[in-house]
Chains A and B, each alone.
Chain A
Amino acid sequence: MVVIDKEKSDVREPSKLPDFALIEKSASFQGLMKKKKRFLVPSILLFLGLYILFPLIISYTDVLNTSFIGDISWSWVYALGLFIMTWTLVTVYMKKAAEFDRMAEETLKEFNYEEGHNQ
């Protein structure tokens, strides 16, 4: 099943390139990927889910047309909720990403990588 086209994959002088398969299989990189996945997948499902749900609810039902407070209906609350969700997730992402950065740096250090030296 594994067919590697030598000509295509090795155009950039293979001697200078690190063994990416080795890095990819390393415990530190696998740890980073696991952590990223555990955060990214549920977050993406959450925001896309809440977002897609909104047009479905307002198109097929009238439940959000009821009053939240005075003449402001729940539709506006849901809409504003999506704004707050966006800002919150961006903030959480920035925090998490700083953690991912540290882990990525460790992986790179483990394989003696220095910026600008490879390639």
Chain B
Amino acid sequence: MNPVVIILFLIIVGMTLAITYFAAKKTNTASEFYTAGGGLSGWQNGLAISGDYLSAASFLGIAGAIALYGFDGFLFSIGYLVAYLVVLFIVAEPLRNLGKYTLADMINSRFNAKKVRAGAALSSITIVIFYMIAQLVGAGALIQLLFDIPYWVAVLLVGIMMTIYVLFGGMTATSWVQIIKAVLLMAGTMIISFLVLAKFNFNIMEMFTFMKTATPHGADYLNPGVKYKVPLDTLSLMIALVLGTAGLPHILMRFFTVRDAKTARSSVMWATWIVGIFYVMTIFLGFGAAAFVGQDLIVSTNPAGNMAAPLLAQALGGDLLMSFVSAVAFATILAVVAGLVLSGASAFAHDIYGQIIKKGKATEKQQMNAARYASVGVAVFSIILALGAQSLNVAFLVSLAFCIAASANLPVIVYTIFWKKFNTAGALSSMITGLVSALILVSISPSVMNPVEGAALITGNPIFPLTNPALLSVPLGFLGGWIGTMLTKEVNEAKFAEVKVKANTGGFRQL
């Protein structure tokens, strides 16, 4: 490990700890812990959303996927960006107007039933755990490569850091870690893109012409179909990407950190521009890596292509740029896992302990203690799972998280806001059908079952043909909600009028 890496690494660790120290002084109430007191401005929250969203999977994963598969790798960038329109047009403002800390708050603003809250908390926790294991396993493998330390040390290191941020600095520290990371990530990506473009004399046409012969795929590299050859699989993946974002608990939580729907809206606008510009640059990262590092070296360093971006930095800017990009990747991982811990903790401590067990009557001190215990609990639990999951293919964990978010959370959100007849039984059946069908379909899919021994968890022919089940499980989530509603007679039009007025005017909010 060279000294520059160590110094940059220490700067990032030092900076984030300093933020945590200052944030700790401002974190005395549950509202400050979960939402930074709702005091972030539009651009701050927009940057924090970007920091939360652009995980190592985005930065390293997409760059690697484009380097290896060309156009097909770029499909992820498209899906992850368009997803923000679903967030903005359907979810963000009603969520801010109806909820307080969690998704369950928003759904319960209409139903006020413990089982609905428990269901929403359960699906949130499930998503967070899967997403978290994926991030930690990926982080462990990556840091192991970048810094040449054993896997378990890497996982523990990230685990301890994320616990410190959340435990002491709550949402304020987490938000600022995410903001700084977003700025660093954009800067790093811009530098690499600039260097790549300079190699092609800033001529995009020249770059495309060069890429036609730069890889073993030949001209196909620039066309769809190198990796995704099964049409329904491609469609299903794209559906999970576009609908999943609007159901991810750690993204939804970021809409409670601003004071009103107007600021929530402007933070999505900021995020859309930042994330979009980043995803355009993934083309340059991917093409550059394929052209100047070469697919052989990328694959031999990491079969999934995760090292494409750091290797490209090395090829273009030497050790210094490589160290910078590695440090940015480390900051990226920290920012995302801290957000995940916080959203998992809020489901446990606010929904299950505060609202269900204590019936909303917990004192401020009890709420804070619960939040802190839950954060440590979520962190320790995920670290232990991640330590045991080293050999697991993380790609399916991420796709599973997106799929559950799209199948279990999105239908109930949409029905709660728009459907007059929707009722308690419908809310519950929608969440359970979405969650269970996503889990079952993934566990009998090619991601888990493979006839080649050792290629997946279970050896055998997959029962369900699609790698990502969103194409079926999302409609099932909607269908479950519809059937549950139709089978029971409960209708509360007065409550729906209240929800509609609150969601659309921003008035009468629970403060």
Question: Which residue numbers of A lie inside 8 Å of B, CB to CB?
Answer: 1-5, 8-9, 11, 17-18, 20-21, 23-25, 29, 32-33, 36, 40, 43-44, 47-48, 51-52, 54-56, 58-60, 64-65, 69-73, 75-76, 79-80, 82-83, 85-87, 89-91, 93-94, 97, 100-101, 104-105, 107-108, 113, 115-116, 118-119
Contact = CB atoms under 8 A, between A and B. Distances in A.
Nearest to B233: A59
Nearest to A80: B280
A65 B491 contact: no
A86 B272 contact: yes
B126 interface: no
What are the nearest 5 A-B pairs in CB distance? Answer: A59-B231, A24-B497, A20-B498, A58-B224, A104-B505
B242 interface: yes
B369 interface: no
Contacts of B228: 59
- Taking residues whose C-beta sits less than 8 angstroms from the other chain, chain B's interface range is 35 or more
Interface in B240-292: 242, 262, 265-266, 268-269, 272-273, 276, 279-280
Nearest to A108: B507
Nearest to B219: A71
B362 interface: no
Nearest to A106: B505
A59 B508 contact: no
Interface in B472-492: 489-492
A33 B500 CA distance: 9
A27 to B, nearest CB: 14
A70 B272 contact: no
25 contacts: A3-B490, A4-B493, A17-B508, A20-B494, A33-B500, A47-B89, A48-B86, A51-B78, A54-B238, A56-B231, A64-B224, A69-B205, A70-B209, A75-B222, A76-B71, A80-B280, A83-B279, A85-B82, A86-B82, A89-B85, A90-B269, A93-B265, A104-B507, A107-B505, A119-B510
B509 interface: yes
B81 interface: yes
B90 A71 contact: no
Given A20-B494, A107-B505, A58 B239 contact: no
B489 A118 contact: no
B223 interface: yes
Given A33-B504, A51-B238, A73-B222, A44 B272 contact: no
B208 A72 contact: yes
B265 A119 contact: no
| Residue with the highest number of chain B CB atoms closer than 10 Å, among A24, A64, A82, A100 | A24
Nearest to B79: A51
A119 B509 contact: yes
Contacts of B279: 83
Given A73-B222, A75-B223, A55 B231 contact: yes
B509 A94 contact: no
B211 to A, nearest CB: 8
Interface in B366-399: none
Contact of B212 (A71, A89, A105): A71
A36 B86 CA distance: 15
A9 B494 contact: yes
B291 to A, nearest CB: 14
B235 interface: yes
Contact of A119 (B208, B501, B508): B508
Contacts of A76: 71, 222
| Residue with the highest number of chain A CB atoms closer than 10 Å, among B265, B497, B507 | B507
Contacts of B500: 20, 24, 33
Contact of B208 (A59, A71, A94, A113): A71
Contacts of B497: 20-21, 23-25
Contacts of B90: 44
Contact of B493 (A2, A64, A73): A2
Interface string B71-102: 10011001001101110111001000000000
A48 B238 CA distance: 11
